[in-house]
Amino acid sequence: MPEGDTVFRAARRLNRALQGDEVTRFDLRVPALATADLRGEIVHEVVPRGKHLLHRIGDMTLRSHLRMDGSWHVYRPGERWRAPAHQARAVIATVHAETVGFEVSMLALVPTREEESLIGHLGPDPLQDDWDPAEAARRVKSDERSIHVALLDQRNVAGFGNEYAAELLFLRGVLPTAPASDVDARALVDLGARTIRANIERSERTFTGIARPGHRTWVYGRAHRACRRCGTLIETGELGAVETEERITFWCPRCQR
């Protein structure tokens, strides 16, 4: 599932393509929104909030989420799409650009004044100007579950996904199964904020500081391979708030205790 830095870059790219222009095509290909039409309205901005994308058009806000396989493409008018048309869930175009959301989900259209009904549940977002590390740490620390699950809960901190959880816990030397209440949550969320902010300016996300393929992570995706620090084999398991939401975890049993 795309992390907050991926969504941030997507919003920035869409905003550059659409901001300030009049909508000439507005096509939402989901039954509940199929009749919605914002043609003639001005795109004020496209902004990220955690893992959500918000198109503010006229006095309305369109929310979308990338989930596992979603993506937004930007094309020149008339340019051939690089994904199958049957995967398109949203098309928003102006005279200067055509943007297409392929396999995006959680589409919702509400008056902008009611935007909080869609995102008000989210915790502090390290990529927003109103980032509140103390509140993020308080929410994580007060979570009664494992620290890995607490980090993934968007109500605690908005934007961290499975890759960030695995890598941040390695860097802090914390087992994913450790109770969140036992962890230095302030240090953890501060490290997460610095890391995700650095990654929004990188062409490829990295936690090691090395951008070469195969060298970007410490433990994530490296099950049964040698730890880059101590050589111990990386272990893997599954954790989640409920069985249907379990995520694969990765950790070094020597570096994380």
Which residues are marked as active site? Answer: 2-3, 51, 247
Helix axes 162-171, 185-199, angle to 10 degrees: 120
Residue with tokens 């302030």: 186
Cβ contacts of residue 102 below 8 Å, gap of 6+?
Answer: 70, 71, 72, 73, 83, 87, 88, 89
Paired sense of beta strands 43-49 and 52-57, if any: antiparallel
Neighbours of 229 (CB within 10 A): 12
Quick one: DSSP state of residue 180?
G
Burial of 16 (0-12, 13-18, 19+ CB in 10 A): exposed
Q: Name the amino acid, one letter, at 44.
A: H
Q: What is the dihedral of CA 130, 51, 8, 116, to 10 degrees?
A: -40
Q: Torsions phi, psi of 43, nearest 5?
A: -80, 110
